[in-house]
Chain A
Amino acid sequence: MNPEELYLSLDEPDNSDHLWRYSPWKRIHPTGNIREIPSNYKQPNINLSFLDGSDVPNEVSITKEYSKSMKNSFSDQISMSFIESVSQDSKFTFKVKNNTVLEQPVLLRIDSESVNSAINLSIEIGRHCEFELITLIEGEPGWFGLLRKANIGEGSIINDVVVGQMKSGTLLRVDAINIGKDSQVKAGSISSGSEKTKADLRYMMNENGSNLRVLGSILSAERMHIDHHIEIYHDAPETYSRLDWHSACGGNSRTIGTGMLRVSDGSKGADAGQLFRNLLLSKKAEADSIPELEVSEHDVVGCGHGTANGPVDEEQLFYLEARGFSPDDAKDALIAAFLNTTLSEMGSETLHQWLAENLQDELKTLTT
């Protein structure tokens, strides 16, 4: 069955579905007519380089062909088949050869300019690689879809950060990441631009010893609606995961974080935890965090979850004001600090500096 046939064969997802409870598919679909599959979507502009603009070595490539070896059994079919359907002319493979170690982060810039578009990206990372990848989504489209299916090879150490910085429209993002044996992955998400964001991020650990940290720094302002669903599957012994998700919500915006942590029978020694924190910056801002657990294995190190919501801490404000910070500067500093606690964990100091500078302008919109 091709993607269009698959998509059209599926029923509209029910609101009781954990994934679609807060952002019904009708609201995320580009036209709202869910039986429609737009056919005129173009390829966005894509550029691959090191963070300083220099060329990446031959071991790293992006080509306009698609790997068919990708496993995707754990993704949501609606959003995945829809992006596959509208990105027929925009299928790419990002490949990194075995044993590739890179000193500075790689930047994959995707600019949809002002037209609706989508990209279906297959990511193949070989064994024993060590590098950092930033995927930056820019443009002012009405709608953009990003599907990333990845296989991360055995023993690799990868910091993978996706920065959503579209100035308008709806972003639908689907990640399906397979994490190989003994590999260590930090998966960062920064979301600050689009009016609506629906992200379905899934991580599969079905080989021993894999280690995953999922980190989010989310800024919402004005009337933005940002919904991230994160599923982490522990399907092998001695696997480790931590989710730390920080959202700062201002204006009339709404952020949603739903987490699903699944530990299958046989995943002995699994160690998993998820924590959502929301900083509420206005009375009209809303933040919902719903972490859920499904643990079928008894012999685990630990499986926990938690959420915390609150405004800017008055005692922290007083402390900064006692050091001469004006009330606005103190508030800005505390918001930046709140987001920085996850941002700074996403990778190297070079990566962190770039991300922090990139977010400066976005932070201003939150507090003005």
Chain B
Amino acid sequence: MSKDLKLLNIQDLYACIDDTSILKGINLEIKPGEIHAIMGRNGSGKTTTANIIMGHPDYEVESGIVELNGENLLEMETWERAREGVFLSFQYPQSVPGLQVGNFLRKSVAAILGEEAAKGKEFRNKLKESMKELDIPSSFLGRYVNDGFSGGEKKRFEILQLMLMKPKLAILDETDSGLDIDGIRTVAKGINAAIRGTESGALIITHYSRILEHVKPDKIHVLISGKIVKTGGPELALELEERGYDWLEEGSED
């Protein structure tokens, strides 16, 4: 694959919800194999960025470009983006009472990777291995999707899906929130297994540097009031931990 190819290319992205402007000119490029992180305060536009990439119908893109491997994602429906290789690990995954985890996983994998990938021994083995890696018991398969799951179970279930669906781009929206240290380690192991050493990329949205100690990002971006105000290496996370966001806010515009 060419070194210049951009896995994710976001240019001058402006977006709003209910006439409230949230993203005010985002520029972001992720190359194959790279892991980037976005950090920022609540309300800075982190989750909006994730939802816009995935195509949430409540958000309106006012202008800009969002491309995956050169394909215009903004012209695709959510399910088409998923099949194109975009995966969003939700901050608050929806519960679907009545839909069994096992059936849901088979249908999702079939939709994204094709019917053949969702049946047979290979799928079962991959499922078993991934569940073991994430400390998920087999009884999980008989439960309903996210119904009655603890916060940690929900996050591990999102990562299980990530491992099975092998996306080109994984967006992880506060996957570390609500997890204890062991949970963060387990989830990080899953992210590394799915992304590292592949041509896929990831965008980790987080408030904390803890997960970034286990999933070393190539770049960290700081989002303030809908704009990326600073980009740096992994050391930026520690600086933010020490200094907060005020020093960056002074130089940003609303």
Contacts and interface: CB of A to CB of B under 8 A. Distances in A.
A330 B111 CA distance: 11
Given A324-B112, A325-B107, A318 B96 contact: no
Given A314-B57, A329-B107, A330-B79, A323 B94 contact: no
A338 B82 contact: no
Contacts of A337: 96-99, 144
A340 B94 CA distance: 17
Contacts of A341: 97-98, 144
Contact of A321 (B82, B97, B107, B161): B82
Interface in A228-245: none
Interface string B71-83: 0000001110011
Contact of B108 (A314, A324, A338): A324
Given A329-B107, A329-B111, A323 B98 contact: no
Interface string B200-240: 00000000000000000000000000000000000000000
A63 to B, nearest CB: 39
A336 B98 contact: yes
Contacts of B93: 319
Interface string A341-361: 100100000000000000000
> Which secondary structure dominates where chain A touches chain B?
helix
Contacts of B78: 318, 321-322
A313 B98 CA distance: 14
B99 A340 contact: yes
Nearest to B51: A318
Interface in B97-113: 97-99, 104, 107-108, 111-112
B96 A319 contact: yes
B96 A324 contact: no
Nearest to B112: A324
Contacts of B94: 313, 315-316, 318-319
Nearest to A314: B57
B56 interface: yes
A333 interface: yes
Contact of B77 (A323, A327, A340, A344): A327
A323 B108 contact: yes
Contact of A338 (B77, B83, B88, B98): B98
A334 interface: yes
A339 interface: yes
A337 B101 CA distance: 11
Nearest to A343: B98
Contacts of A334: 96, 99
A5 B109 CA distance: 64
B99 A333 contact: yes
B187 interface: no
A66 B144 CA distance: 44
Interface in B54-99: 54, 56-57, 77-79, 82-83, 87-88, 90, 93-94, 96-99
Contacts of B107: 323, 325, 329, 333
Contacts of B77: 321, 327
Contact of A325 (B54, B57, B87, B108): B108
Contacts of A327: 77, 79
A324 B98 contact: no
A326 interface: yes
Contacts of B90: 319, 322
A318 to B, nearest CB: 6
A275 to B, nearest CB: 13
B96 A326 contact: no
Nearest to B78: A321
B79 A321 contact: yes
A360 to B, nearest CB: 13
A136 to B, nearest CB: 22
A322 B88 contact: yes
A81 B99 CA distance: 42
Interface string B154-168: 000000010001000
A334 B111 CA distance: 16
Interface string A22-38: 00000000000000000
Given A318-B56, A318-B57, A333-B107, A326 B98 contact: no
A339 B99 CA distance: 10
Contact of B82 (A313, A314, A322, A340): A322
Interface string B125-153: 00000000000000000001000000000
B94 to A, nearest CB: 4
Given A322-B82, A324-B83, A329-B111, A340 B57 contact: no
Nearest to B79: A321
A176 to B, nearest CB: 31
Nearest to A344: B98
**Which 10 pairs, one residue from A and one from B, show the smallest C-beta to C-beta distance?**
A324-B111, A337-B98, A340-B98, A337-B99, A319-B94, A341-B98, A323-B108, A324-B112, A321-B78, A324-B82
Interface of A: 313-316, 318-327, 329-330, 333-334, 336-341, 344
Given A321-B82, A323-B107, A341-B98, 8 more contacts: A318-B78, A318-B94, A319-B96, A320-B96, A321-B79, A322-B78, A322-B79, A341-B144
10 contacts: A319-B94, A321-B78, A322-B78, A323-B82, A323-B107, A324-B82, A325-B79, A333-B96, A337-B96, A337-B97
